[in-house]
Chains A and B, each alone.
Chain A
Amino acid sequence: MALLEVRNLVKRYRSPDGEEQEVVRVAEFNLNAGEELAIRGESGSGKTTFLQLISGILRADSGSIVLSGEDLTQLSEQERDARRARQIGFIFQSFNLLQAFKTSMNVELPIMLAGGSDRARATALLQRVGLTHRADHFPRQLSSGQQQRVAIARALANKPALVLADEPTGSLDARNATETLKLIREVCRENGAALLLVSHDAATLSEFERVIDFAAINRPQQESATR
């Protein structure tokens, strides 16, 4: 059963000098519930924009993004924020933890934003990623690998149906990258979440059974118009 269905999705940006450029044009893209999929793409190919469109951070210029049967493009920004909080977990290349908050608070925060309060869930996730003993530390007191593990726990905090991972191993050394990737896949499976990972790293991509080339699904029109 399709968790995510993308149809005729288009996103354009306007550069500071007024040129409008199309960066995403995806005719069709599907992801099933609980599925693992890696997207290969070079830097600047628009794959991060694609993930931000799927998550509702960016509004599409046209097309549809149906997540769990609901078209995100038809929702207001506030409604998309609410769906994102409940249904989508995000893992970033540079971890993006909140420096003012302790590790435990970073994991609890999405639960609160989704309207809940479940400290036990946050504690269990930290335990799962092996950081119970770091719960009261601030992100700056953790290593890169540990920070990404906190980010993984945060992404899974609301038991999301979909986890989006944008170059999640891009800031880690090889050993940490392998371990982190393994952990992401394991916790997604344990929580029944589909995983959509984008990367340009061959080692990371080689771990996935299903890998698609972003260039194969994203065909932006090359003409630009000066306004």
Chain B
Amino acid sequence: MSAGTIILSSLRQHALSTWIAAVSLALAAGLLTSIWCIKDQSRAAFENSGAGFDAILAARGSKLQIALNSLFHLDESTGNINWSDYEQIRSNAAVQLAVPFAVGDSYEGYRIVGTLTNFITDVEYRRGQRFEMQSGRVFDQTLREAVVGSFVADRLGLKVGDHFHPAHGVGREAHDHDDEYLVVGILKPSNTPADRAIYIPVEGLQLMSGHDPKTAEQISAVLIKFKANSALVGRQLDNLYNKEGSRLTLVWPIGFVLAQLFERIGWFDRALTLVAGIVALVAIGTILASIYNTMSARRRDIAILRAIGASRSRIVTWIVLEAATIGLIGVVLGLVVHVALMAGAASLLRAQTGVVLNPFEWHPILVVAPISLLALSALAGFAPALKAYCTDVAANLTPLS
């Protein structure tokens, strides 16, 4: 027989309050760790989501809006730019790759991007990783053909050989064009926003029935990759387009611009952390209350233990360990809650932005939070332990009436 047996027997006797306290702590621990991990993982994912590009050129407007629209298919385009702007940047000696994007249409809520085949064949979206076809082939630039991102194909059940009518606009106000497109390829999952878009030839989008004829020579943005020394080239182009010009906006560096998104929603992040902190404190309070409330009923047991030779310090130790055990159950369950919350958030974020989170990715908070909560749980045990310490043995050994 060990102290562990005594503690577990005692917890079993108050099983309901033990589980309530442990589950509340698990929710608090899971919430606390997942908020931290979601925040840091999504921030890292967004900041590194330049999709292999160094800069974006688009119509004058908010840099963050341009980045969100061009890279994540979120928000609205800032407007159109001329095809000649694309030609000009493409011919810049410092530019290795320039990819035009034309947006504004959708299918079943998923954005359609008019582009060139080089987006699919030449872009290295991560070091050493290029887009690959899961099935089919890249569209023919001269035909009404489409390549579908893996997530869209999966959600809409699209496969090579299917036909669809793009809709003008995005969202509920979208209405179908007459043009019919043939799915000729499905992309392999890349865990990038490309998974949740449909790619068609840029001319196709420009010349879509019902579009303003003016758009025939226009695109929404150009995604740019520099050859080398991107800092120097970026500064030169930043001067050219942002400071000297007034018609276009160059988004550079992309990661810096995307970081602004997190600065803007920093208040939300702080509020969530505060809520998680409060939940954790409430959970610790629950542990304290759950043991403290049993102390009156346990006075006789404590007196008996003292009468058969248990010292006060031993009983204090047991009660503190009892609180720590509830804490331990809570933080272990908290890891399950953490993975569940992370999986839920990852699924949501992937569906909305294409950014992928890893529910099992290591983060220091996964050690710091459980250890802190465990220590706080043990600390919470000191209040009931003090009550036990002061139990009047003689008075509580009297015969039961």
A-to-B contact residues, CB < 8 Å: 48-49, 52, 55, 57-58, 77-78, 81-82, 84-86, 90, 92-94, 96-101, 105, 108-114, 117, 119, 154, 167, 170-171
Contacts and interface: CB of A to CB of B under 8 A. Distances in A.
B227 interface: no
Contacts, number: 81
Contact of B307 (A57, A100, A114): A57
Given A81-B312, A96-B307, A112-B2, 17 more contacts: A57-B306, A77-B311, A77-B312, A82-B309, A86-B309, A98-B305, A99-B13, A99-B301, A101-B9, A108-B1, A109-B305, A110-B309, A111-B1, A113-B308, A114-B309, A117-B1, A154-B308
Nearest to B10: A100
A57 B12 CA distance: 29
A92 B394 contact: no
Nearest to B313: A78
B301 A113 contact: no
B20 to A, nearest CB: 18
Given A99-B13, A105-B5, A113 B310 contact: yes
Contacts of B310: 81, 85, 113
Contact of A85 (B1, B301, B309): B309
24 contacts: A49-B394, A52-B394, A52-B397, A57-B306, A78-B311, A81-B306, A82-B309, A84-B307, A84-B308, A84-B309, A85-B310, A90-B307, A92-B307, A94-B400, A98-B301, A99-B301, A100-B9, A100-B10, A100-B301, A105-B9, A108-B1, A109-B305, A109-B308, A114-B309
Nearest to A87: B309
Contacts of A112: 1-2
Contact of A96 (B6, B12, B304, B309): B304
Contacts of B9: 100-101, 105
Chain B interface: which size bin?
Answer: 20 to 34
B114 to A, nearest CB: 72
Contacts of A93: 399
B6 to A, nearest CB: 8
Contacts of B2: 112
Interface of B: 1-2, 5-6, 9-10, 12-13, 300-301, 304-314, 393-394, 397-400
Contacts of A105: 1, 5, 9
Contacts of A90: 307-308
Contact of B399 (A58, A77, A99, A170): A170
B313 A85 contact: no
Contacts of B10: 100
Contacts of A77: 311-312
A96 B397 contact: yes
A81 B399 contact: no
Nearest to A43: B399
Contacts of A110: 308-309
Nearest to A88: B309
A100 B2 CA distance: 15
B312 A109 contact: no
A107 B275 CA distance: 48
Contact of A171 (B5, B300, B312, B399): B399
Contact of B309 (A81, A99, A117): A81
Nearest to A81: B311
A92 B399 contact: yes
Contacts of A108: 1
A109 B12 contact: no
A101 B393 CA distance: 20
Contacts of B304: 96-98
A157 to B, nearest CB: 9
Q: 3 closest A-B pairs (Cβ-Cβ)?
A: A85-B309, A100-B13, A113-B309
Contacts of A94: 399-400
B311 A109 contact: no
B394 to A, nearest CB: 5
Which among A90, A93, A100, A170 has the greatest number of chain B C-beta atoms within 10 A?
A100
B307 A55 contact: yes
Contacts of B13: 99-100
